[in-house]
Chains A and B, each alone.
Chain A
């Protein structure tokens, strides 16, 4: 294989991983933008989503695939709303550190709940996505990659449309800028925050589907690494910014895939995290984040 098609394949791989990161990063960034908190349990929603796909489908209930996927998304959205209501809402006016620690607590709770109920042994779970691969000249793109790219593109376009073009999206942007003023304009802040968690968690379920189709094995800790990588992606792009999360995810995915292919598989995580450190040193607000000028 010549160097160009090898490079092209690595870029496509990077795009695939990156778009999954981006999908997860959207959840982090939206919740941060509106509730001003980092939901560290977000990665574990991916894991719950993956287990739900298994249990609703081949693992237990044997429902047809489209129903399984739809149900898993809805259940994750409800789970996200419940977590917000039970764990985060009582802390709405608490110091950020208390909320952060609670989020880590929720993450441990979800992991251990699944550990107790499903066991620690990895469960093999064959991909639910069956799409034929595509060959373009010397480059072959796998079916899962195609599906991942199409699905993430549709989700992102849908989300951007929703946030920019609907009144509920406008309400979300308003709450994100000034919660107090939005409330005084008649916007129900609790409902808006709830909806944000629902959307973020629904997207996490989609990410879970795409992620598990690649790895084909279920474990209670499977959400941890993509969760933390997506968090890095969100910070890289500028946390709070939707285009930033998308760009951050894709950049991180491509860096990772190129390092794995051309530098070292073992060093790939170290290199991606170093990129984060570098970006934060040069542009602390992230690639698309707003630089704040401190008033003196």
Chain B
């Protein structure tokens, strides 16, 4: 019987690898290979684009891409860690609401955020590298708060208490206890933020203007605008290689760093001076993060010279800007994002299990979709999915598939650190105390994983809701999502159109906050105390 079980678990382990690999092969490698082949194969022979890779313009673009991403990542970590601390270590009224609100910036379409930034920033700053960095911080704070916070929440308070007893000062405790314990989650979050900023598109295009370009914007420029597929493919390969290298380095760091073991949610009520610190951090961070959304809410309520709800009620009526009444977009977004979340979890959970048990190659492969240019992938979809049974070019099903590809790394990244940190001794202790294996799963391990799982689902949903770059390439005009509808409205003159765009932004923000709140409640409430 023992042998049967081992065989079964070997089969199970294989299954955790097959599904993610098959998904990536069909929906990522194949289309990308099709477009790279179109650009880099001439008459059946590979045409190696050395000239593109060594050109000085390529070097300049690559350098700018690299340093802005590195600086953005560092700034995001600095900005997000206090909030992650307050939200993960302490229980206070409104905590889950704050956690939900923090997710809002992350899903706002870049055009919308850029609009808000243009309105908020003083004239000289509005189109500079500072605007780019600030916008990147604004977008990505949620990633750090979520991923690091989910990990931080499980760390045992007694470690700090012990350090304090041994005479460590508060600063000492943060530096010598907190940082090493959090290191794997920090590396995990930093690598996602870095990739996001490295492949940033809308922010660079709008806030940077024609003067700044990253590899991603340059690929788009070469492929979609100039139709130079050779240059685009060469830059696409360069970007993929850079992303793969970054993922490898961060993965190595993450493992090397070890980190602390987790024992459920260690959050407690703040006491004494902590109360002031938590209040300052939470209110201060929220205040800064709220500025652009509040600007959007105000604009959505502005009707002529006064205020009103006209732009919201107009969402029920047909308009020339869309082929359906705007409220359809809300329905479509919810449907597509639910499907995309389900796909991302279906593929991402086995993948996370495989990665946590040491399949490093898969880890890199899963992160690559974040590093592939949406324009190249969109072109690849057009080339690859043109025949039954995968004639997806004009099918709405392509939308959640494309979104799931982008959401997948978030699922994996949220689950892997928690899976790695599961304490074997807990399972053993429960077994010794007489718990059946099923009981161990239900009573010990699922509760420990509930929070990371909720985070994974929430992030996947949020990412799919806000996804724009890939969606716009594959979506059908009669199935617009909310970000696509916002984009269409912003593309037309007149107050009713810009008002509808702002109203939809507000709807999108509300949706994300609601979904984040619900997913957290539903999963975390069930935790046995």
Q: Do A and B interact with each other, yes or no?
A: no
